[in-house]
Structure 1
Amino acid sequence: MDRIVFFDIDGTLTRGVTSGAYLANLLGHGHTMEEAEAACARGEITNDDVCRIDAAGYVGRSASELFDMLEDMPLVDGITQAVDAIHAAGGEAHIASLAWGIVGEYLCKRFRFDGYVGSELEVENGVCTGGVAHALEGEGKCSYARELCEKRGVALASCMAIGDSRSDIPLFELVGTSIAFNATEEVERAATNAYRGGNIAEALACAL
């Protein structure tokens, strides 16, 4: 194996909504979550703050309940094809996102991603407590990539990252190839490639 491809979730694999806002709407605290995410995007609060605000709405929910909710989450086209193409080329596809790890776990099971890193809800006796076990920041994506590449014996310069938001920039700067997928101008400037469209497999093909 000579390449690992890292995918963001929100705005990259999801279509028209973040996974946090999608779940929050179903759990009944959608407006609160939308305000928190907007404040985070403006740089007024951190992802740690967003996680603490959001986690309170998950009290008593189990992983199986959340998996069921995620079945209808809007996703971009081409995810299966993108992961299959990476595997066919002998590489691995991983999720590196600030979103809840439960979303990364769900996407791994559904689309055969090889692993994930994300923020983690606090869970006791199989249900969410309303607390946060770990809130990931942008550098956490880089730590995951470094550790995984060292474990696999893969050079970071041969790896690729696909994302759309400011939190993806540190990872873009770490790997050899990066794709700004339907991203802001700031993120496009930090990437080696930029793509706008609805099919992530096509974006991947343009950079391979």
Structure 2
Amino acid sequence: MLIATLIAADQLEKGELSSAADRLSDIGARISRIGDIVDGKAADIHFEGDLEKARQVLQVDGAMIDFVVQPASGREKKLLISDMDSTMITIECIDELAGYAGIKDQIAAVTERAMLGELDFEEALRGRVALLAGLEVSAIDQCLDEKVRVMPGAKTLVQTMAARGAETILVSGGFTRFADPVAKDIGFAKVAANILTEADGRLTGALNGTVVDAAHKAEMLRLSAQSAGLSLAECMAVGDGANDIPMIALAGMGVAYHAKPKAAAAADAAISHNDLTALLYIQGIASKDWVAG
């Protein structure tokens, strides 16, 4: 049995739900139930059929609706692992930090190419960090205060899943100086990120320890699931860039959130019109059961 979930950016109309059911029927899907519209914006269609064909037929150009198709079994996940920059927060920290050194545009151009998968992540990261050498460490606190903003729905997503017993992990190709306070603010139980080295109150332009890259993120998911006694099918991963693809591909529900094209293509679900609470609707959790972040 499969479930197609429709999540509208605003209001989900009955006609839109009926149209989606018709498109599924047109490819031979056998619909067993069409659920009620929940919270005015989300609904499920239960059916038997081909998962990939269903995903393709439901995508409608111009529709302000996110469509997610998945197996009905194991829908609610027991582990959430998430990227930070442009996923749990609205910015790319290294770009904004570079602004305090007067080189934001230079750094941001490299970041964009790295997130698109056009550059080797570690090489690009080390190169950008080197350009920050000499920047006062106090700029990090200033950046946290002035630039870092939590993504809409992030706290509700993480705190609701945690309250229902899920493991929650923030894993970032950014820096612990940002990830640690962000994780605490949002409610993540665990966090991993890169460590900037400092000397005499200034950044040295180097990193300490192993770089948290795409492979590290995927391995952290695998080991965290193993430690918790969970299968990968019981895990949800969310991110936006090429660096998140292995993690997204490994999880039972891999979500690309307002993502770059390569990440969206690799994901089980692409959320483009909603905030992070869409990940709760994906799991069949309506707002009456949310923990308000």
Query: Pick from 103, 107, 119: which aligns with 1:29?
Result: 103
Q: Is the 8 A contact 1:23 1:70 kept in 2?
A: no
Task: Report the secondary structure of 1:27's partner residue.
Answer: coil
**In 2, distance between residues paired with 1:54 and 1:175?**
30
Instruction: Find the counterpart in structure 2 of residue 129 from structure 1.
Output: 204
Instruction: Give the corresponding residue for 2:218.
Output: 142
- Structure 2 stretches lacking a partner, 5+ long: 1-76, 284-293
Show the 5 A alignment for 1:1-208. 3-15=78-90, 17-41=91-115, 43-56=117-130, 57-59=132-134, 61-62=136-137, 66-72=140-146, 73-123=148-198, 128-133=203-208, 134-197=210-273, 199-201=275-277, 203-208=278-283
Aligned amino acid, residue 25 of structure 1: G
Q: CA deviation at 1:191?
A: 1.4
- Normalised to the residue count of structure 2, the TM-score between the two structures is 0.62
The AA in structure 2 aligned to 1:169 is: I
- Alpha-carbon separation, structure 2, partners of 1:27 and 1:74: 20
Q: Residues 162 and 43 from structure 1, CA distance in 2 versus in 1: closer, same or farther, beyond 3 angstroms?
A: closer
Q: Which moved more, 1:161-170 or 1:25-34?
A: 25-34
Structure 1: any 5+ residue segments left out of the alignment? none
- Does structure 2 retain, via aligned residues, the 8 Å contact 1:119–1:135? yes
Task: Give the residue type in structure 1 aligned to 2:252.
Answer: G
Query: Helix, strand or coil for the counterpart of 1:74?
Result: coil
Q: Percent identity?
A: 23
Compare relative contact order (CA 8 Å, sep 6+) and give the higher one, 1 or 2. Answer: 1
Shift of 1:43: 4.2
| Mapped contact 1:51–1:132 kept (Cα < 8 A) | no
Distance 1:75 1:158, change over 3 A: same
Using structure 1 for the length normalisation, give the TM-score.
0.85
Shift in Å at residue 80 of structure 1? 1.4
**Structure 1 residues 91, 137: closer, same or farther in 2, change over 3 A?**
same
Q: Which has the higher helix share?
A: 1
Alpha-carbon distance in 2 for matches of 1:182, 1:42: 13
Q: Compute the displacement of 1:25 (Å).
A: 1.0
- 1:144-203 deviation per Cα after TM superposition (whole angstroms, max 9, x unaligned): 1122222222222201001111221111221111111112333222211121235212x2
SS, match of residue 28 in structure 1? coil
CA RMSD of aligned residues (A): 2.3
Number of residue-to-residue matches in the alignment: 204
